[in-house]
Structure 1
Amino acid sequence: MQTSKVVQVASEALQDTAQLALENEEGNWEFLKLKNNIRICRKKTGSLHTFRGVGKVSYPVEQILPVATCVESRPSWDPLCKEGKLMCEIDNVYSLVWWSFHGVLVISDRDFSLAMAVKEISEDGTFCIATRSIEVASCPSFSGYVRGHANLAGILLKPCNDSQDTLVTYIGNVDPKGLLPHWAVNIGGEKGAMCIHYLQCYLEQKARSIS
């Protein structure tokens, strides 16, 4: 496997995710809606738009991080995700991962081969989790799936100074491919931001089961 290629793609995705997550909304992003206390915006980047969701999760970064970065267990908290495989862990930052996602109605299930980076990016404990599609022989498309392409998909976890809460920012620019036109993809592109809500719900449920 071309580990250097995975590291390069993941590193670039990390920089792009952090930049988009931290930049000022004003003048750069178009506000769409507030859903489940998540502020969803978009940026018209060519024919395929980039989406950003910002919301608070009422748990500290150290509790969110293990959930958000465990590839195989993602279906336990994200209802959109069908299956996950850690194909290769290069080091404690970079890895090659595979995820599949449920199709809707007549739309086929999708799968993605992704270079992933997980890294603390500032001294205040802010972490960035970033992925970008990469095609390598060690991660072929599995039977029954349409191979999608993630130009960028990730989240930024920033501790809130005045509480144990975490400000979570989602960034996504994903093309499910197949026969779906980009205008249709742009209509549903905001759904990825709901991962913030799913993380909150999962951690609440986990806390209730322990108490």
Structure 2
Amino acid sequence: MFTDDEFAVLMKELDQPQIDGWEFFTESHGISIYRLYNEESGLYEYKIYGTLSDVLPDCSADVYMDLEYRKVWDSYAKELYEKEENGKKVIYWNVNYPWPMSNRDYVYKREMRELEHNGNKVWIVMAESTECLSIPEKSGVIRVDDYKQSCVLTTDGKQGSKAFMRYYDNPKGMIPTWLINWGAKTGVPSFLTMMQEACRGYPKYLESRNKS
């Protein structure tokens, strides 16, 4: 689905952030964010570096991949599921936007690999927009067809996770670019905080799911 070279490029970020040409954007709660301007869209692509201090990387990876659990802890996920078409799995994701903006939805492919780097296990997830004829666009919902996200997780050497994310999407529609860029500044750290809390609650969630 994705190439070995693409995963290798992401792995490099663990040793040395690849930020030549990137602009430092903000730092919050131990998370550093850099951005790169996209002239075609007027938007930015982001690189995020940080740690989840009390969550192990295998748990972080499981939470990141668990779509059913995502619907529990992420209030923005209105609809989220995986389906198979022509032997390939794709994910549909409908995201709640605040009134009066229209919701956005995504159809994307995703792959996770567990690799080894400097004697430590590394979890890398790559996701990218794709087409799926059996998931047509919905009335009143704007389809995002330019979306990429990558996540790299490994141990921080203690009881936490060292994390790197790369993210870009173009939500289209009549949203001012300044508002989108402001949302990235506040939304990325808050998402990681939400995910950290979700990781803490994951064992209890699995226990209740296995009982039902």
Structure 1, unpaired ranges of 5+: 1-6
In structure 2, the residue matched to 1:105 is: 99
1:72 CA drift (Å): 3.0
1:71 to 67, 74, 77: 67
- Residue matched to 1:172: 167
Cross-structure match for 1:187: 182
2:134 paired with 1:138: yes
1:49 to 1:75, Cα distance in 2 relative to 1, 3 A = same
In the TM superposition, 1:49-128 aligns within 5 A as 49-57=44-52, 58-88=54-84, 95-123=89-117, 124-128=120-124
Q: Residues 208 and 113 from structure 1, CA distance in 2 versus in 1: closer, same or farther, beyond 3 angstroms?
A: closer
- Name the structure where strand makes up a greater proportion of residues: 2
Matched position secondary structure for 1:147: strand
Contact 1:132–1:153 (8 Å) recurs in 2? yes
Between Structure 1 and Structure 2, whose CA radius of gyration is higher?
Answer: 2
Q: 1:183: Cα distance to partner? A: 4.7
Question: Contact 1:110 / 1:146 at 8 angstroms: preserved in 2?
Answer: yes
RMSD: 3.1
- Determine helix, strand or coil for the equivalent of 1:197: helix
Q: Bigger CA drift: 58-67 or 188-197?
A: 188-197
1:139-197 superposed Cα distances (whole Å, 9 cap, x missing partner): 2223442111343113111222x213111112111011223354543332342454322
Unaligned stretches of 5+ in structure 2? 208-212
Question: What letter is aligned with 1:38?
Answer: I
**Relative contact order higher in (CA < 8 Å, ≥ 6 apart):** 1
Cross-structure match for 1:18: 10
| Compared CA separation, residues 175 and 199, structure 1 to 2 (3 A) | same
* Compared CA separation, residues 117 and 26, structure 1 to 2 (3 A): closer
How many residues get paired? 199
Gap change, CA 1:192 and 1:202, over 3 Å in 2? same
Map 1:150-165 → 2, pairs under 5 A: 150-160=146-156, 162-165=157-160
TM-score for both structures, normalised by structure 1: 0.78
Q: Verify the 8 A CA contact 1:126 1:158 in the aligned structure 2.
A: yes
